[in-house]
Amino acid sequence: MKILSWNIWVDCHFEELKCFLSESNVDIIGLQEVKDDDPERDVIGFLKKLGYEYVFAKTEQIWNGKVYRHGPAVFSKFPIVNSKTYLIDKEDERAFARADVKVDDRILHIFSTHLIHTHQKPSKQQEAQVNELIKQLPKDNVIMMGDFNATPESEAIKKMREVLVDTGKDSDLTWSVYPEGCPACNPQSIDARLDYIFISKDIKSKNFKVEESTASDHLPISVEIDMQAFLLIKK
């Protein structure tokens, strides 16, 4: 099973995005900054036509004086038998989308989230969002992915690594493809890791990869899950 996570950017280059997603042959996708009210960037409609079921958690933020309505989403080629969305911060609206996906007779709990951007600086608010996220995690069969807006040495990521396994490496840089990704940071190169795919300890992964695309300010990341080992685990 191939898993993909990607902050697709509210201002994504949609044609490039469609090309990448249609060719990626991914089973489960976690996206961030998805919009359901932008006819020029109808990501949900596009992926539904490709055969994906989905769960979407809309939030609202104000960036540079402009209101953005978007959120994290999970898309699955496998049946979604249960779903949930949950706010992990009401002040700066942040949320997760959860899809319980049926694979044979097993259930995988898939999460997609997007934390506050603090310009790669320590943040008690970001840590509080992670704490709220962790409270909602089942014990087993978990895949948690998203744009955590946190570097590997941050307290937020340290907290995540206490409960889940980080499938990537600290050197897997994912941001920023464009300086416009953050006017305050004004990044001139892809020099930070902000995106992660975490799994519970009962799941085995391989072949973590930072993918190539210029559709967003973030690069997509992917990993393969050993489903044979997962399906053999005693229930």
pLDDT band for position 234 (50/70/90)? low
Q: What angle do helix axes 155-163 and 124-135 make, rounded to 10 degrees?
A: 20
pLDDT band for position 233 (50/70/90)? low
Handedness of CA 118, 6, 144, 76 (dihedral sign): positive
Q: Among residues 226, 168, 169, 170, which one has the least CA distance to residue 202?
A: 226
163 sits in which H/E element: helix 155-163
State whether residue 58 is helix, strand or coil: coil
Rounded Cα–Cα distance for residues 56 and 72 (Å): 6
pTM over 0.75: yes
Phi, psi of 158 (to 5 degrees): -60, -40
- What is the secondary structure of 185-197 as a DSSP string? T---SS-B--EEE
Give residue 62's pLDDT. 83
Give residue 68's pLDDT. 86
Tokens of 134: 């962790």
pLDDT band for position 61 (50/70/90)? confident
Percent of the chain clearing pLDDT 90 (strictly above): 92
The residue type at 122: P
Give residue 27's pLDDT. 98
Rounded Cα–Cα distance for residues 148 and 107 (Å): 25
Instruction: Return the bridge partners of 106, or none.
Output: 103
Q: pLDDT of 66-104, one tens digit each?
A: 888 999 999 999 999 999 999 999 999 999 999 999 999
Tokens of 162: 């206490």
Q: Name the residue with higher pLDDT: 66 or 45.
A: 45
Backbone conformation region of residue 76, classed left if phi is above 0, alpha if psi is from -120 to 50, else beta: beta
Rounded Cα–Cα distance for residues 75 and 79 (Å): 10
pLDDT band for position 191 (50/70/90)? very high
Give residue 228's pLDDT. 78
Q: pLDDT of 109-163, one tens digit each?
A: 999 999 999 999 999 999 999 999 999 999 999 999 999 999 999 999 999 999 9
For residue 141, give the DSSP letter: S
Parse the chain into domains and list their residue ranges: 2-232
Rounded Cα–Cα distance for residues 147 and 165 (Å): 16
Burial 31-42 (b: 16+ CB within 10 A, else e): bbbbbbebeebb
**Does domain 2-232 sit in CATH 3.40.50.2300?**
no
Give residue 227's pLDDT. 80
Contact of 167 with 223, CB cutoff 8 Å: yes
Contacts of residue 190, defined as CB under 8 A and 6 or more positions apart, other chains included, come to 173, 174, 175, 176, 177, 219
Mean pLDDT of 169-188: 96
Tokens of 83: 């779903």
pLDDT band for position 21 (50/70/90)? very high
